[in-house]
Amino acid sequence: MRIPFICANWKMYKTVDEAVKYVKEFRPRARELDGVEIVLAPPFTALHAAAEAARNSNVGIGAQDLYWEREGAYTGEVSGPMIREAGAEYVIVGHSERRTLFGETDDTVNRKIAAAFAAGLCPIACIGETLDQRERQETFDVLDRQIKRGLDGLTSEQIAQLVIAYEPVWAIGTGRNATPAQAAEAHGHIRKRLQHWFGRDSAELCHVIYGGSVKPDNASDLMAQPDVDGALVGGASLDVRSFVEIVARSRQAALARRAAGRPGGAV
Ligand code: PEP
């Protein structure tokens, strides 16, 4: 059974003090939101302090990237074991900002996902098409390539533990979210491909979450879609009240879907 998975991506926002203040304010609110897996992904500098502030709560901590080697002469990089030791349990891999601004490829994403698993971290692997690609009707081809190359060599057991974030690049930080129908179509496609390449059982356990301008106002409609198992939230996660609202509405939508006996998606 997949329970809703909601991750806050703080990008390059929040100092150590700001991160700790947020976690202290957020954790009592999160306690009321059971049955949801909640993750906060601060910058590297705040990982340890945020993990300490979240200790013994239902709030998990994730990093926003990692390097695939354990240690070595890789100036500026941070490894999976280092992230794990800092107290994080999750790591975002292949975010479109890293692909477009820092040269990430499906190959580097693949190595990073393998390194995350090796370090005992749950990877949140981001995929998604650009606006040009969507307009050229290449969305499914792009997703297929990113899944095939990015997840190459993973076992069915790893796919079952993986979180895939479908994030159409044109929807990230733009205020223009995918429509619920567009999200449902893409998520359904991703699930089918996972079934085909990794088997039905692991595909059913893999979380496929949506990212791209998720806000309190659109969270319910997006989360009500089949195969939308949660959200990766950037801008709207920076404010505690707004993020609490998104988690609460997503949880409500998942509960309503279960009550209605509708198939697919997180329950
Ligand atoms: C993101 O950073 O993954 C993201 C989806 O950002 P935003 O919610 O701001 O579009």
Pairing of strands 37-41, 59-63: parallel
Under the banding of pLDDT at 50, 70 and 90, the label for residue 183 is very high
Question: 211 C-alpha to center of ligand 1: Å?
Answer: 6
Task: Convert the pLDDT of each residue in 99-119 to its tens digit.
Answer: 999 999 999 999 999 999 999
- Looking at residue 263, what is its pLDDT? 55
How many whole angstroms separate alpha carbon 184 and alpha carbon 151? Answer: 21
125 or 265, greater pLDDT: 125
Cβ neighbors of 185 (< 8 A, separation 6 or more) are none
- Looking at residue 252, what is its pLDDT? 94
Identity (one letter) of the amino acid at 74?
Y
How many whole angstroms separate alpha carbon 112 and alpha carbon 107? Answer: 9
Q: Which residue has the tokens 């079952």?
A: 160
- Looking at residue 149, what is its pLDDT? 98
With a cut of 90, say whether residue 50 has pLDDT above it: yes
Task: Convert the pLDDT of each residue in 26-49 to its tens digit.
Answer: 999 999 999 999 999 999 999 999
Pocket of ligand 1 contains residue 8 by CB under 6 Å: no
- Looking at residue 85, what is its pLDDT? 98
**Least confidently predicted of 158-162, 237-241, 245-249, 251-255:** 251-255
Tell me what percent of the residues of the chain surpass a pLDDT of 90: 92
Question: 171 C-alpha to center of ligand 1: Å?
Answer: 8
How many whole angstroms separate alpha carbon 209 and alpha carbon 265? Answer: 9
- Looking at residue 246, what is its pLDDT? 98
- Looking at residue 89, what is its pLDDT? 98
How many whole angstroms separate alpha carbon 148 and alpha carbon 164? Answer: 13
Rounded average pLDDT over 145-151: 98
Catalytic residue from among 95, 187, 189, 207: 95
Bridge partners (DSSP) listed for residue 47 = none
Please confirm, yes or no, whether 189 is among the known catalytic residues.
Answer: no
- Looking at residue 267, what is its pLDDT? 53
How many whole angstroms separate alpha carbon 80 and alpha carbon 90? Answer: 10
Rounded average pLDDT over 239-253: 97
Q: How far is residue 214 from each of residues 101, 167, 181, 256, measured CA to CA in Å?
A: 22, 10, 15, 19
**Count of beta carbons in the 10 Å neighbourhood of residue 105:** 12
- Nearest alpha carbon to residue 189 among 128, 260, 131: 128
- Looking at residue 224, what is its pLDDT? 94
Mutational test site, ligand 1, from 90, 93, 164, 172, max ligand atoms within 8 Å of CB: 172
Catalytic residue from among 48, 167, 187, 189: 167
How many whole angstroms separate alpha carbon 237 and alpha carbon 7? Answer: 8
- Looking at residue 266, what is its pLDDT? 61
With a cut of 70, say whether residue 5 has pLDDT above it: yes
- Looking at residue 255, what is its pLDDT? 87
Cβ neighbors of 263 (< 8 A, separation 6 or more) are 226
How many whole angstroms separate alpha carbon 16 and alpha carbon 86? Answer: 13
Q: Which atom of ligand 1 lies at the shortest distance from residue 171's CA?
A: 10
Bridge partners (DSSP) listed for residue 6 = 38, 231
pTM for the full model? 0.96
Coil, helix or strand at residue 213: coil
**Backbone phi and psi for residue 202, each to the nearest 5 degrees, phi listed first:** -70, -35
